[in-house]
């Protein structure tokens, strides 16, 4: 799906290598790589069984967009079940039917919510088929949505404790089988947020549909990465985490970035404003992942990439510096 982007000189079979300490790009105490990534509470303890749902907060992520009444209908159903909840919209701009894209945005955002939040996520191209409707209990949260891999990266990182299959017979559908977000997932999320007991049965967590973001492939001079998200500024956010950057990536050096039929030069910078407007750059953004960006421009449009595309980044020459 999508085009190939190459940050070059990669070789299949080479594994990711950690950056050396001298070239580390992040402070070890940076929240995304410290206690925020710890499972359980900030002090390392698991939540008590009764803590999930105590926040009465539901986070809401979908590919519904905002042109139709779908988001409003789901919220209305949730508030009809429990009027005391707070619903926080994460995004409704997941690329249509792109489960990988939705899973990544959920993975980025879930950790910032208070303990006990119920994460409702719906990117569900298999709605109405044999795929299961599930609720996953983790150390800090609940996750509710389709069993298609959407929930797995976030839930597994937080630590899956139990998994449940929702009893569809207990949740009447209005007009057909194509809107489980409103008719099933929304009511279940609201029940959990209010401390009620939805109609569901426990299943083996090992049966949950798994999904991963793929592993970058790193060599001495290049790395192949996958674009997991393109934000509204056109920044291409990849699957290469800041704490996994190879030792040869140094600030100020320039690299070639290749996609299918296109190649550009990009300087590795700490901020977008360090390069001239219109110039490409590589940077570690607020997500904690490597981005390919254009200062005051749209990298995704210029490179012709979308979530799922691959990129190859390659050194131009040892120690090359481009101050543009």
pLDDT at 321: 44
**Under 8 Å between Cβ of 149 and 210:** yes
Same domain for 175 and 95, yes or no, is yes
Contacts of 168 (CB under 8 A, 6+ apart): 133, 184
Q: Judge whether 35 lies within some domain.
A: no
Same domain for 138 and 250, yes or no, is no
pLDDT at 29 over 90: no
Cα-to-chain-centroid distance, residue 104: 2
- Three-class SS string for 183-236? HHHHHHHHHHHCCCCCCEEEECHHHCCCCCCCCCEECCCEEEEEEEEECCCCCE
* Residue 302: strand, helix, or coil: helix
* DSSP assigned state of 70: H
Q: Which of 287, 290, 288 is nearest to 269 (CA)?
A: 290
Q: Hey, what are 21's tokens? A: 């300490």
CA dist., res. 71 & res. 88, Å (int): 12
CATH label of the domain that carries residue 245: 2.40.30.90
Same domain for 74 and 129, yes or no, is yes
- Range of 261's domain? 4-30+215-315
Whole-number mean pLDDT of the chain?
A: 85
Q: Hey, what are 292's tokens? A: 């390919």
Of 51-55, 58-62, 205-209, the one with minimum mean pLDDT is 51-55
Q: Hey, what are 211's tokens? A: 């999904």
Same domain for 76 and 184, yes or no, is yes
CATH label of the domain that carries residue 111: 3.40.50.10790
pLDDT digits (tens, 9 = 90+) for 63-113: 999 999 999 999 999 999 999 999 999 999 999 999 999 999 999 999 999
- Three-class SS string for 6-21? EECCCCCCCCCCCCCH
**Backbone phi and psi for residue 219, each to the nearest 5 degrees, phi listed first:** -125, -170
Q: Judge whether 36 lies within some domain.
A: no
| Domain termination residue (choose one: 207, 230, 248) | 207
Q: Hey, what are 49's tokens? A: 């069984």
Q: Judge whether 102 lies within some domain.
A: yes
CA dist., res. 301 & res. 123, Å (int): 24
Q: Judge whether 322 lies within some domain.
A: no
pLDDT digits (tens, 9 = 90+) for 255-269: 999 988 799 999 999
Same domain for 96 and 131, yes or no, is yes
Q: Judge whether 13 lies within some domain.
A: yes
pLDDT at 51: 43
Same domain for 173 and 230, yes or no, is no
**Residue whose entry in the numeric block shows the structure tokens 């360090």:** 274
Q: Hey, what are 305's tokens? A: 């990439």
HSE, side-chain direction, 13 A CA sphere, residue 200: 25
Same domain for 67 and 179, yes or no, is yes
pLDDT at 290: 97
pLDDT at 236 over 80: yes
Pairing of strands 236-241, 254-259: unpaired
CA dist., res. 106 & res. 110, Å (int): 6
Of 53-62, 153-162, 175-184, the one with minimum mean pLDDT is 53-62
* DSSP assigned state of 253: B
Q: What confidence category does residue 221 fall into, taking pLDDT thresholds of 50, 70 and 90? A: confident
Q: Hey, what are 30's tokens? A: 């940076």
Domain count, the chain: 2
Q: Judge whether 251 lies within some domain.
A: yes
pLDDT at 11: 32
pLDDT at 45 over 60: no
pLDDT at 4 over 50: no
pLDDT at 119 over 80: yes
Q: What percent of the chain has pLDDT over 70?
A: 81
């Amino acid at each position: 799906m999508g085009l190939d982007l190459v940050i070059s000189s990669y070789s299949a079979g080479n594994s990711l290598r950690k950056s050396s300490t001298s070239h580390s790009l992040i402070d070890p105490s940076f929240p995304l790589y410290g206690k925020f990534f710890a499972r359980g509470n900030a002090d390392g303890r698991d939540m008590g069984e009764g803590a999930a749902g105590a926040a009465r907060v539901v986070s809401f992520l979908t590919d519904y967009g905002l042109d139709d009444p779908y988001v409003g209908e789901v919220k209305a159903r949730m508030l009809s079940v429990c009027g005391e909840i707070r619903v926080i919209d994460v995004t409704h701009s997941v690329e249509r039917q792109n489960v990988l894209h939705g899973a990544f945005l959920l993975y980025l955002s879930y950790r910032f919510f208070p303990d006990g939040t119920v994460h409702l996520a719906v990117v569900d191209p298999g709605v109405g088929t044999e795929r299961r409707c599930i609720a996953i209990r983790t150390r800090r949260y609940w996750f509710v949505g389709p069993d298609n891999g959407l929930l797995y990266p976030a839930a597994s990182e937080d630590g899956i404790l139990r998994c449940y299959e929702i009893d569809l017979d207990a949740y009447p559908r209005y007009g057909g089988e194509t809107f489980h977000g409103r008719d099933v997932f929304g009511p279940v999320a609201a029940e959990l947020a209010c401390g009620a007991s939805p109609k569901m049965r426990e299943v083996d967590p090992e049966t949950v549909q798994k999904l991963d973001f793929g592993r970058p492939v790193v060599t001495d001079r290049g790395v192949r990465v996958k674009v997991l998200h393109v934000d509204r500024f056109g920044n291409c956010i990849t699957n290469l985490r800041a704490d996994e950057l190879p030792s040869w990536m140094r600030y100020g050096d320039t690299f070639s970035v290749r996609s299918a039929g296109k190649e550009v030069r990009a300087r590795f910078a700490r901020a977008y404003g360090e390069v001239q407007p219109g110039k490409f750059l590589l940077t570690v953004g607020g997500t904690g992942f490597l981005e390919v960006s254009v200062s005051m421009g749209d990298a995704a449009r210029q490179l012709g990439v979308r979530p799922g595309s691959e990129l190859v980044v390659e050194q131009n020459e040892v120690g090359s510096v481009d101050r543009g």
